[in-house]
């Protein structure tokens, strides 16, 4: 499950490299407004592809969705790989922020909503090299020209619903018998050492950690070849 840009094609280089050795399913995200609708849609894709058990991976926003899917369908997941995302058992105090975000997106113009969304992405996407700056321009184009107001509302609404329904809970995840692997970059602001300890409490077991050095938050965009190396290291057992 890729990040908040909702379009799997952005990760085409990484996904194509990974697909040389594995069957890969990476869906675009439908503009639904509830967690069950999203999770059922993903489950339907897996059923259509006749995939029963699999390694589930989530990057950035996708890590939230992956933890929710695991909580609902743990019998289908062999291992969970998390990249650039923290534990998803958020406190209900986060609901106010999501409610506010949805309200703002619905009230202001669509273009202004997209600019605000892009501003948030810039906080985690580096642009210090020419290649990173080029990718940032691609991301800007996707946000401004491809995503819709419904996509932006869905981004916050599904996250809010996962929190509101208390889908991700330790009493569920600690019964799951699979492996938890976390890809960690030293310069990724979305995953801290406190998050790693929180993961261990949430799942009730040690985290298998893969160190990605300084690849940052958007390694699957900026360095897909090295990101595949890290990912293959994660799923090797």
Determine the pLDDT at residue 127: 66
The domain ranges of the chain are 8-235
Q: CATH class for domain 8-235?
A: alpha beta
User: Per residue in 133-176, pLDDT tens?
Assistant: 888 999 999 999 999 999 999 999 999 999 999 999 999 999 99
How many other C-beta atoms lie within 10 A of the C-beta of residue 85?
25
Which residues of the chain carry a pLDDT beneath 50? Answer: none
Of 63, 190, 36, 169, the C-alpha closest to 126 is 190
Question: Tell me, what's the pLDDT at 93?
Answer: 87
* Token code pair at residue 182: 């976390």
Look-up of token digits 């050492």: 193
Distance between alpha carbon 147 and the CA centroid of its chain, in Å?
Answer: 17
Which helix (DSSP H) or strand (DSSP E) does residue 179 occupy?
strand 179-184
State which H helix or E strand residue 172 sits in.
Answer: helix 170-173
| Residue 92: count of CB within 10 angstroms of its CB | 10
**If residue 38 lies in a helix (H) or strand (E), which one and from where to where?**
helix 35-48
C-alpha 56/C-alpha 58 separation (Å) is 7
Residue whose pair of structure tokens reads 């070849």 in the numeric block: 225
Q: Determine if the pTM surpasses 0.85.
A: yes
CA atoms within 13 A on the CB side of 183: 28
């Amino acid at each position: 499950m890729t990040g908040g840009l909702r379009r799997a094609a952005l990760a085409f280089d990484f996904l194509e490299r990974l697909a040389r050795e594995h069957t890969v399913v990476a869906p675009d995200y439908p503009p639904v407004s509830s967690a069950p609708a999203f999770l059922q849609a993903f489950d339907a894709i897996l059923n259509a592809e006749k995939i029963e058990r699999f390694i589930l991976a989530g990057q950035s926003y996708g890590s939230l969705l992956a933890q929710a899917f695991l909580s609902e369908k743990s019998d289908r997941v062999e291992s969970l790989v998390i990249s650039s995302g923290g534990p998803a058992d958020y406190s209900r105090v986060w609901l106010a922020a999501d409610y506010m975000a949805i309200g703002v997106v619905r009230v202001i113009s669509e273009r202004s909503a997209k600019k605000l969304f892009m501003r948030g992405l810039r906080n985690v996407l580096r642009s210090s090299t020419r290649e990173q700056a080029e990718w940032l321009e691609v991301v800007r184009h996707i946000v401004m020209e491809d995503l819709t107001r419904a996509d932006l509302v869905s981004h916050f609404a599904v996250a809010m619903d996962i929190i509101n329904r208390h889908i991700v809970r330790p009493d569920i995840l600690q019964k799951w018998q699979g492996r938890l692997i976390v890809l960690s970059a030293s310069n990724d602001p979305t995953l801290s050492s406190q998050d790693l300890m929180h993961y261990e409490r949430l799942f009730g077991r040690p985290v298998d950690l893969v160190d990605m050095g300084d690849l940052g938050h958007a390694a699957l965009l900026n360095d897909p070849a090295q990101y595949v190396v890290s990912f293959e290291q994660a799923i090797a057992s």
